[in-house]
Structure 1
Amino acid sequence: MRIVEGAGAWRPAADGAANDWAEQLRTPDLSVGTYCIPAGGTDDQSPHTEDEIYVVTAGRATIVTPGATAEVGPGSVVFVPAGEEHRFTDVTEDLALLVVFGPAYGSRGSAAPSPE
């Protein structure tokens, strides 16, 4: 057993970066991290080679995919299949997302840049 410290907690980006991404846990089969976008910020991530689940722990935004658009806030859980375009827009409050990748982020090779 392991307690995953800091997972899902808001933290501002360091050194002038637009957003913050930190991986808190990695095993071959999954990885867990936190992705933070400040209010008014822009999500510039690309599709990933792994399935992912977002759990909104703080903030409000809209998630946009080719097939749907939805408003999200604390407690929202979003599944994005591998390879699907997706982006958080209209970030009205500092957004903190617990992100679970399965299998672990980048393990399928040719991964897009991490969500930062």
Structure 2
Amino acid sequence: MRKGNVIRASEVKTFFFDETYTSKMLIDRTNSETQNVQINMGIMAPGAKHTDHNHPTDYDELYLIMKGEGMVRLDGQEYDLSPGDVVFIPGGSNHAIANKSDTEELVIFTVWPKHPEEGANPVYDLRIREWGKSYVTIHE
């Protein structure tokens, strides 16, 4: 039987992707016994906008909106986002996200049903290149 665990976001090292986006890998195969899910806490800076990009065909993704007000564009259609909203991004879709506030961060949890292979997720790939692994605590 696999063993469960608890990850405290306050003890996870922040990865700085660029001036608009930071993230904390909360659950993946490096810190738990999962092989089936990956959860990341993404923080978008006030006013940040990410451009449209195609999602890898083999990877569905979920956004769980935790804090702030945002907008997501899915295959050309825009939706306003508030805390508690959930966004399903099917593999192969075109999407973008933006923080609608000029003063508050947009905090989202991103959920992938499996661990991304190299090239599927640029933030994950860069984290591996810079840290040598996807999950690092503030104590390391």
Higher percent of residues as helix: 2
After TM superposition, list the pairs within 5 Å mapping 1:19-98 onto structure 2: 19-27=21-29, 28-44=35-51, 46-49=53-56, 50-92=59-101, 93-98=104-109
TM-score (norm 2): 0.65
Any gaps of 5 or more consecutive residues in structure 1? none
Q: What is the rounded CA distance, in whole Å, between the counterparts of 1:35 and 1:15 in structure 2?
A: 10
TM-score (norm 1): 0.77
Moved more, 29-38 or 44-53: 44-53
**Bigger Cα Rg:** 2
| Secondary structure, aligned partner of 1:114 | helix
RMSD of Structure 2 on Structure 1 (CA): 2.8
Task: Count how many residue pairs are aligned between Structure 1 and Structure 2.
Answer: 110
Any gaps of 5 or more consecutive residues in structure 2? 30-34, 127-140
User: What is the CA-CA distance between 1:110 and the residue it aligns to?
Assistant: 3.3
Q: What is the rounded CA distance, in whole Å, between the counterparts of 2:111 and 2:89 in structure 1?
A: 10
Q: What is the rounded CA distance, in whole Å, between the counterparts of 2:55 and 2:121 in structure 1?
A: 5
Does structure 2 conserve the Cα–Cα contact (< 8 Å) formed by 1:46 and 1:113?
Answer: no
Q: In structure 1, what residue type is equivalent to 2:122?
A: P
Query: Judging changes above 3 Å, is the alpha-carbon distance between structure 1 residues 82 and 16 closer, same or farther for their aligned structure 2 residues?
Result: closer
Higher percent of residues as strand: 1
Does structure 2 conserve the Cα–Cα contact (< 8 Å) formed by 1:56 and 1:98?
Answer: yes
